[in-house]
Structures are given as structure tokens and as C-alpha cells.
Structure 1
Amino acid sequence: MSVNDVGGRRRFEDSEYTLHIYPGSIAEGTIYCPITARKTSTAAEVIDSLINKLQLEKTKCYVLAEVKEFGGEEWILNPTDCPVQRMMLWPRMALENRISGEDYRFLLREKNLDGSIHYGSLQSWLRVTEERRRMVERGFLPQPQQKDYDDLCSLPDLNEKTLLENLRNRFKQEKIYTYVGSILIVINPFKFLPIYNPKYVKMYDNHQLGKLEPHIYAVADVAYHAMLQRRKNQCIVISGESGSGKTQSTNFLIHHLTALSQKGFASGVEQIILGAGPVLEVR
């Protein structure tokens, strides 16, 4: 075995996975709780994370159970078992959360003082887990409230799925702007939003990037004041596919920059610059 093989194996062991643990009646209102774990993480470590995340009573004893179909037999994991390793043995369709005849999942169960497992009533289990989960998936119940992040760099679990979900949640709230550090992501709403009036020009005047809700005015304001302070030319790059809103974003930038430079005095500069736009766009 080469040194590269050892390094590759170590990186594989350190890879993080997300486990979806269904607490059932133990945590009312929670469909599932995502827990980040490694291949070597034990069931005891995952349970500790669940207790902290769901704020469960630490005086009680909990166990993890693996089930391969709804209503099927539950396999209780030993404290030293590794849930991620067991999950990696599941069929691909189960790992991709596709609808199939088998329903693989991990459940959180409470252990009684005599060593038996407290399953709770079937009615409660149906109401809190399976029935509610399927109704949420079909759109009959609202999705659980999730915190949206105005900067994607602040996401606790950064991957393609969480990134897109965060952008989607913000878009549904008509928050079309999101930061990635100093970069601004804009999702075209294809309708006018009342966030470009003089009140917003004044609101974003001379504010540090990230202090307020993401906005294209914030980018223009930072560039404008950096030009004044450093006495150097500034550049704002706008990129995107056809129809993504580049021209309109340019208009908003020019509007804010002229408003800052003119300080409320109408000079016609903005209209002159905007009028040159169609000529500049011709290739």
C-alpha cells in the first residue's frame, strides 16, 4: 500500500455525511433531525448530538433503531455501532430519498428503566412521523420553518442541496439578493419589487457590506465610497445568462451611483448614461 493510498483512506474516513433521524413522539413537531456524522461516528455520539440539537432530557436513555420499511422490524443499534456505515449498505434509491417499496430510516427511541424500548402509541407515531412527512412532501402541510442565511458562506452545512434550498426559501420571501462573501447573487423575480425607492438609497448610504440585508445598492455604495477613499477606479462585474436581469441590474447600479454623486440634485446624468446602454450592448 502506498502513502497516497493511506492518505486517500484517511480523507475518506474523515468525510462527513448527513443522517436524518426521526424522533417520532419524543420531539413533537419535528419530522426529522439532520445530524452530521463521519463514517467512524458511533451511535452514542449521534445520540449525544441529537440530545443537544433537540434539547432533550439528558436524564433519560435513548437508543437508535434502524428500520427498512414502515411498520417493519426495528433493529436497535449498539452504542458502538456506526450509523453511517450501516446507511452506506442501503440501496441507492433509499439513499436518494426516492419513493420505493422499502423505507429505510433511523429512529430515535426512548429506553425504559427495565431495559425495554418505549415505542409510544401507534396513533402518535403515525401523526408525528409518517403521515406528517408524506403530507409535507405532497404540499398539504407547510415545510418546517428553516432559517435562511443572507450569506451562503454562513451555511452550517454547505453543499449543493442546502445552497439551493436557502436560495429557494429566500426567493419565496421575495429576497432576491444573497451574498457569497463579497459577491452578490441575484435571482430575477420577473416582476417589480418596491425596494429601489429613495428610502433604500438613503438606507444603504455609507454602510459596510453585510451589515444590512443584501441589496444591489450595497454593492454600488461600497464601490462608490472605495473610489472616494482610495482615489482609485472601481469595477463591478455583472455576469449571467441571457434573460437573467443583467441590464436591469446595471440600471439599478447606475441609479444608485448617480443618486450618491448628485445627492438628490437632478442633473440628467443618469438618463444620459442609461440612454447609452443599448448602444454599448450591441456587439
Structure 2
Amino acid sequence: VQKDATTASVISDAAAALGLDPGRLYVLAEVKECGGEEWVLEAGDLPAQRFLLWPRKAQETHPRSLGFYFLLQERNHDGTIHYVHLPPVSKEQEAQLAARGFLPPPQDDFADLCNLPALNEGSILNNLRTRFHKKKIYTYAGSILIAINPFKFLPIYNPKYVKMYENHQLGKLEPHIFAIADVAYYAMLRKRVNQCIVISGESGSGKTQSTNFLIHCLTALSQKGYASGVERTILGAGPVLEVLRGERRRWARHAEATPPGPG
């Protein structure tokens, strides 16, 4: 299978090679770890790229009982899919599979919350806490970046980091605010459509500083690393905007506390 072969083309070729009825509908599912769920691929997905993300041992010929294979299935008459789950494995079997290279080693923190084995409030907070203690203040939740204010300067905002994250797919490197700026910048150039980055958080969470880092990175990308008068002007307007926001909040609280007058 070529790297650029889509799921639709793989299904068509497999059905022809196996002599299956071309009038019926088929799906291609990816089965990973033993006991894992089946992920039905969309028509435009690239199965070869999914294969290359498997552990190295899983890319070699191995028994189906160990997981990591593709499953060609016929849809039911009503269009639904009949899933064939593998039997669940014990902790001991998981350890053996990890030792043989079929499972990745256990992680103590996850750069993307979507990859947490158990997704609940406790696991999310524990993961963020673990990363924070390692001075990893950024964590992804899909395409959303979660930032925790370290209340001190970290040496992760110099030009070397701008260059490191330049023109990289989101999630390929450790989470960073420069990655968000970079993705927005190159999406703007590629699609020729305005991009928007929303920064939200409680008072004191670091929204203003995050804005400054974003502007610095965007300016460096567009000016080849040299600060421009535009960057200085925008950064200089930051404190003024903060004062205006503070005044707006103060007047809003005042309006809520003041009873309405007659009439």
C-alpha cells in the first residue's frame, strides 16, 4: 500500500484481490493494542500513515492475537457495523506486551489530555500538576492549549524556540504557545484566510503575557527574527488595553450594585 493510498482505494483493491462482491459495502477498521477498540477509518484517511505510528515491533509480522492489524468488514444490511472486539488483557499481559515492544512504555504525564487512559476531573488535574512540577506549563487538549501561570520567567521564549516550532504540525513537539502562533500564521499564508486566536482565563492567569508571547512569535515569523515598529506599537498598547478592561469591569460591578433609579 502506498503512503498516499486512501482508505477507499485500499478497500477497493482488497475487495478485488479477494474476489468480494463489489456491490456490497465494506469498511476498514484499525485495531491497536490487544483488547483495544476498533477505529473505523474514513474514506479519505491514509492507512499507511496509521501503520507507521504503531510501535516498531508491531510493524513486523506478528500473530493477530497481539493486536495491531487492519480489519476489512462488510457492513450490515442496515448500514451499521458489527464490531469484533478482542478479549481484554490483564495487567500482567500488558506488561509482557510492553516488554516485547508491542505497547509503548507507561507514561507518567501526557502532553495531550485527549490521550489520557482515563478521562475524568481527577486524572486531568493530576496530569496538569505532574507536568507543572516538571516546568511543563503548557498542555494540549486537542487543538486547545492550556497554560498554567508559573509566576516566574522560564527560558523557553527565545528565538531558538521560534525557529524550533516553525512550520511544524500541531502536536509534533512539546506543547508551546509558539506552536499555536506558528499554526495560525502558516494557515493564514496557506489558506489566505484571516485567523483568530482566542485567549481566555481568570484574572491573573497570564492572558496579557500570553498575548505578548504570541505577538513576539508572529512578528519574528514575519520579520525573520527582527522586532519591528509594529510589534513595539502593539506591545505598548497592551497596558492601555488592560486599564480599559479593568475600568469596564469596575463600571460593570458598580452598575450591578447600584439600584435602578425612579422611572
| TM score, norm. by length of structure 2 | 0.54
Whole-angstrom CA distance in 1 between matches of 2:95 and 2:160: 41
What corresponds to 2:123 in structure 1? 162
Task: After TM superposition, list the pairs within 5 Å mapping 1:87-102 onto structure 2.
Answer: none
Q: AA paired with 1:149?
A: F
Q: How many angstroms does 1:55 deviate by?
A: 3.9
Q: How many angstroms does 1:202 deviate by?
A: 0.4
What corresponds to 1:257 in structure 2? 218
Matched, 1:53 2:94: yes
Whole-angstrom CA distance in 2 between matches of 1:198 and 1:212: 16
Q: How many angstroms does 1:156 deviate by?
A: 1.1
- Paired residue for 2:191, among 230, 233, 236? 230
- Paired residue for 2:145, among 177, 184, 199? 184
Matched, 1:197 2:158: yes
Whole-angstrom CA distance in 1 between matches of 2:160 and 2:213: 14
Q: Deviations over 1:173-209 (max 9, x none)?
A: 0000000000000010000000000100100111110
Could you tell me whether the CA contact under 8 Å between 2:159 and 2:225 is conserved in 1? no
Equivalent residue of 1:162, what SS?
A: helix
Where do 5+ consecutive residues of structure 2 fail to align? 1-86, 98-105, 249-263
What corresponds to 1:273 in structure 2? 234
What corresponds to 2:46 in structure 1? none
Change (3 A) 1:186 1:266: closer
Q: AA paired with 1:224?
A: Y
Whole-angstrom CA distance in 2 between matches of 1:249 and 1:173: 20
Q: How many angstroms does 1:224 deviate by?
A: 0.5
Could you tell me whether the CA contact under 8 Å between 2:219 and 2:228 is conserved in 1? no
Equivalent residue of 2:90, what SS?
A: helix
Could you tell me whether the CA contact under 8 Å between 2:177 and 2:214 is conserved in 1? yes
What corresponds to 1:175 in structure 2? 136
Q: How many angstroms does 1:54 deviate by?
A: 4.3
Q: AA paired with 1:273?
A: I
Whole-angstrom CA distance in 1 between matches of 2:161 and 2:206: 20
Q: How many angstroms does 1:266 deviate by?
A: 3.6
Q: AA paired with 1:181?
A: G
Equivalent residue of 1:235, what SS?
A: coil
Q: AA paired with 1:229?
A: R
Give the length in aligned residue pairs.
Answer: 150
Task: After TM superposition, list the pairs within 5 Å mapping 1:1-283 onto structure 2.
Answer: 49-55=90-96, 146-281=107-242, 282=244, 283=248
- The runs of at least 4 aligned residues of structure 1 exceeding 4 Å deviation read none
Q: AA paired with 2:92?
A: I
Q: AA paired with 1:51?
A: E
Equivalent residue of 2:139, what SS?
A: strand
Change (3 A) 1:50 1:265: closer
Aligned-residue Cα RMSD (Å) equals 1.9
Q: How many angstroms does 1:147 deviate by?
A: 2.0
Whole-angstrom CA distance in 2 between matches of 1:193 and 1:270: 21
Q: AA paired with 2:205?
A: S
Whole-angstrom CA distance in 1 between matches of 2:126 and 2:94: 21
Whole-angstrom CA distance in 2 between matches of 1:270 and 1:214: 24
Whole-angstrom CA distance in 2 between matches of 1:192 and 1:227: 30
What corresponds to 1:75 in structure 2? none
Whole-angstrom CA distance in 2 between matches of 1:51 and 1:234: 48
